[in-house]
Structure 1
Amino acid sequence: MAKKKSKSSNSNTIAQNKKARHNYNLTDKFEAGMSLQGWEIKSIRNGKVNISDCYVFMKNGEAYLTGAEIMPLNSASSHVVCDATRDRKLLLNRRELDRLSGAVDRDGFSLIATAMYWKQCWVKLEFFLGKGKKDHDKRADIKDREWQVDKGRLMKNKNLNKD
């Protein structure tokens, strides 16, 4: 009889960049695999990843992730040199790379990493094309969010008083 796989957690998310939505207007979503070393996979499985200050840049027609910290384990092999902040190549097809390089070069977009997650046995990176927000844009977003909360409270109170 075959055993059923049981997931240890419901979420496949490894790390998130929660500030990205606050600091950028995000438009187009992309998903890419990453070229990783063995010690990096072991560290990712232990959750020693930080992508809060990372971004994607284009170099020689290829996409690279920079600023992501994958901390090495204490039990890593002694003959492996572990660089926690090295640039990691993203695995995308040529059409996606051409589209990204055009958007970055011509239109002034930035490539912002928002999440790292497991997709089956592969580590994937979710990133967006985005433009930076100004301070007044951020204040407007905060104002809109607070208004939605207040509106929900008003509607709740209106429905309670109606009964």
Structure 2
Amino acid sequence: MSQQVSKTIITNKKAKFDYELTETFEAGLVLEGWEVKSLREGQVSLRESFVVIKDFEGWLHNVNISPLISKSTHYKSTPTRMRKLLLNTNEIKKIKVHIEQKGLTCVCLSMYWKRHLVKCQLALARGKSNLDKRRVLKERAWNIDKQRLLKSNKQ
């Protein structure tokens, strides 16, 4: 009997709160061996990650992949290095146009396994204002209170 393994490595919950998401993409990542091992252990943070397009190549910034305790001592690992994204040319052009002309940003929403490969879900996003964030919090609080009232009235 095989164990059920979760395919999602990590999700960026803060991105859905801080940004208004418009369009999503799937991209592969160019990783080193120690990074894949760390991802299997779940030692990664997407908190302030974003994508930059340079020379028609996508680069993922601010992703912190912590090295394992049992890592090699003769190799210097850099946890926050830029990681190359594997995207189609059309996707790169589309992202670049949205970033430059419409003022959107491209953020990483999640990392997951697709067969034996690590994939990254990217989204074009526009930053929310503090007013919008407060409105979302009020709606959530009201929905919780509403559910509580409905539950108490049923009994």
Whether TM exceeds 0.5 here: the answer is yes
1:63-102 to 2 correspondences below 5 Å? 63-102=58-97
2:101 match = 106
2:24 match = 29
Q: How far apart in 2 are the matches of 1:130 and 1:38? A: 31
Q: Secondary structure at the match of 1:42?
A: helix
Q: CA deviation at 1:90?
A: 0.5
Larger radius of gyration: 1
Q: CA deviation at 1:139?
A: 0.8
User: Which amino acid is 2:71 matched to?
Assistant: A
> What are the ranges of 5 or more consecutive residues in structure 1 without an aligned counterpart?
none
Q: Work out the percentage of aligned pairs sharing the same amino acid.
A: 41
1:7 match = 3
Whether 1:151 aligns to 2:146 is yes
Residues 34, 123 of structure 1: 8 Å contact kept:
yes
Q: How many residues align?
A: 155
Deviation string 1:1-35 (CA, Å, 9 cap, x unpaired) is: xxx6x2353x2121221111111111111111100
User: Does 146-155 or 65-74 show the bigger shift?
Assistant: 146-155
Runs of 4+ in 1 over 6 A off after TM superposition: none
Deviation string 1:91-134 (CA, Å, 9 cap, x unpaired) is: 01111111100110110001111211111111111121111111
2:133 match = 138
Q: TM-score, normalised by structure 2?
A: 0.91
Residues 16, 52 of structure 1: 8 Å contact kept:
no
Residues 112, 127 of structure 1: 8 Å contact kept:
yes
